[in-house]
Amino acid sequence: MKKKSRKFLTWCLVVCMLFTQLLFTNVAFAATNRYSGADRYATALDIVKNGWTQSDAAIIARGDDEGLADALAAAPLAYAKGKAPIFLTETNRLHDGIMDELNTLGVKTVYIVGGPGAVSTSVEKALKAQFGNDNVKRIYGADRVATSVAVAKELPAYKEAALVNGYAYADALSISSIAAASGTPILLTSDKDTLSADVSALISDK
């Protein structure tokens, strides 16, 4: 697949993922409405603005092509935290409008999904300055696979897990809605033939 086609598919998956999250709110979308923005971050923000009027919690995840795995793995966490919205941001700065919307929604707790390489410490500091150190929690691991395990550990008790390729977003997207609704963690793999030690240990514990 050509590079341009891969980027287009990735962008489509981002939008679909966000709409999947919105299906679990009480908002009914008219088929003729369009939700959009100047870029993927603004589009994500527009979806949140039209899908939520209040939320105690919110998820922040990296929105570029490399960071989408964290956002997808966070879907069950968002549902578990009161059907919280997922905001996409750039690595080194909180994208325009996100802080204002967090305040408008009355958010009390912010979950950053991804390590400092995905969502920088400067973004974390800005959120802590606004919401307090104890109300901003970073959930992450050494890589996207370990981050998916860290997210799973934040979920209530569960008996099943969805195992998907961490570098093929279509699979994670396909399972995200049912995984979120059933409280099933989405665990990522980096190799189709093997499980990471973290994933293996988590499965063994269950």
pTM of structure: 0.84
pLDDT of residue 70: 94
- pLDDT of 67 reads 76
Phi, psi for residue 165 in degrees, rounded to 5: -70, 125
Cβ atoms of 176 and 186 within 8 Å: the answer is: yes
Query: Residues 43-54: pLDDT tens digits?
Result: 999 999 999 999
What integer pLDDT is reported at residue 168 of this predicted model? 81
Specify the pLDDT at position 27: 46
pLDDT at 31: 57
pLDDT recorded at residue 19: 47
Nearest CA to 153 out of 137, 132, 169 is that of: 137
Written as tens digits, the pLDDT of the chain (206 aa) is: 555 555 545 555 555 555 454 444 444 445 567 878 889 999 999 999 999 999 999 999 999 887 789 999 999 999 999 999 999 999 999 999 999 999 999 999 999 999 999 999 999 999 999 999 999 999 999 999 999 999 999 999 888 999 998 888 788 888 888 898 899 999 999 887 888 899 999 888 76
pLDDT of residue 94: 95
